[in-house]
Structure 1
């Protein structure tokens, strides 16, 4: 099993050097109305309490860098699995969603109650991530069953095409403009490196049709699996 703390630390160490050296990436598509990248994804939503704690952190960042892209509470999520990763022009009408729901339901066998803790933040060259820690192997075992069950089907899917997901992180900020107060921004991130944002029980998993940024106004909830 991946050592999540080690993974997040390595990501932080490598990325912070790049950001300081002006080697960071700005996403030019965030405000682009012609961005038609869509897919279907299984997501977990943190509790309201945890999301409100996250907003306190984001408000501090906004005070020094207001023009970056900050996730609102309704958009904050953990990706369990990208069943079909977002691509230009994907439409729900091209698949039979009931076939997907059947396979996902089958994959929920042995899914026990589990909890996730958000503790600390890390960075990539393009965004800020909350460090999520799973208390056991429930979610990764579920991911493995999804991999196996979809591999044995003929349905369109792109599981693990980009990378094999093993973490429980949540992206909360994306860089969309050049920094104007980078030093102050990074200082706040450093202050929150080990802050505990809270722990929540996973009570449901949502299957959604979504854009790249999981914006509520573009997301269509297809079904909710209670766990």
Structure 2
């Protein structure tokens, strides 16, 4: 997949939908009884990158203070959704150590992973930071995880919703009617090619998480240092 083309097309389509007032509101964000949980392998950006992202988030907050914004602790890139969030899943259904073992096997000989956060894109219900891996290392790891989990016999639903191939981070979701959709897109346009910086991934986390990766609901099952 050409990530630049993918992000561009996503932004073009979504910015038009948002500007026209046809965006989607995520009604589950305020649902305190939301019981959708899953297992995710993820990357977290470093503090310098998160500070740069907060500059963008602060601009968005001025225009749309009632929306949902990701705090530093929750910003992430999904490497692989191993068991996508569902009301039917709970942690006692699996043995985390078996999942950790498969991930360790998949990480053997993995080279350095670098991610460049440059520009923003959108969906009809969210604003995201565009992430660009520096090479094929992340994709190769994902393919290894797919293969190893498929052969493991463990419960998993990898790629059940879609095959993950991007490296974006969601930073804003719509939980209320927007005050001024066109103004929001004006701000987004300003950061369309903004350079948030590049970082080398030092570790991956395996987490038991809710749909929005809220820190308060997340349990770290494994932490994998990279060379």
**TM-score, normalised relative to structure 2:** 0.98
Deviation, structure 1 residue 19? 1.1
Question: What is the SS of the residue equivalent to 1:217?
Answer: helix
Deviation at 1:113, TM superposition (A): 1.1
Match of 1:31 in 2: 30
Q: Which runs of 5+ in 1 are unaligned?
A: none
Deviation of 1:91 (Å): 1.2
Structure 1 equivalent of residue 213 of structure 2: 214
The aligned counterpart of 2:144 is: 145
**Structure 2 residue aligned with 1:111:** 110
Is the CA contact (8 Å cut-off) linking 2:18 and 2:182 kept in structure 1?
Answer: no
What does residue 201 of structure 2 align with?
202
Distance 2:63 2:144 in 1: 44
Q: Counterparts of 1:15-164 in structure 2 under 5 Å?
A: 15-164=14-163
Task: Tell me by how many angstroms 1:129 deviates.
Answer: 0.7
Aligned length: 226
Question: Per-residue displacement from partner, 1:122-174 (whole Å, max 9, x unpaired)?
Answer: 01101001000000111110000000011112111010001111111001101
Task: Report the aligned-residue RMSD.
Answer: 0.8
Unpaired runs of at least 5, structure 2: none
Give, in angstroms, the shift of residue 110 of structure 1: 2.0
CA distance in structure 2 between the aligned counterparts of 1:197 and 1:17, rounded to whole angstroms = 24
- SS of 2:26's equivalent in the other structure is coil
Pairwise CA distance, 1:89: 4.0
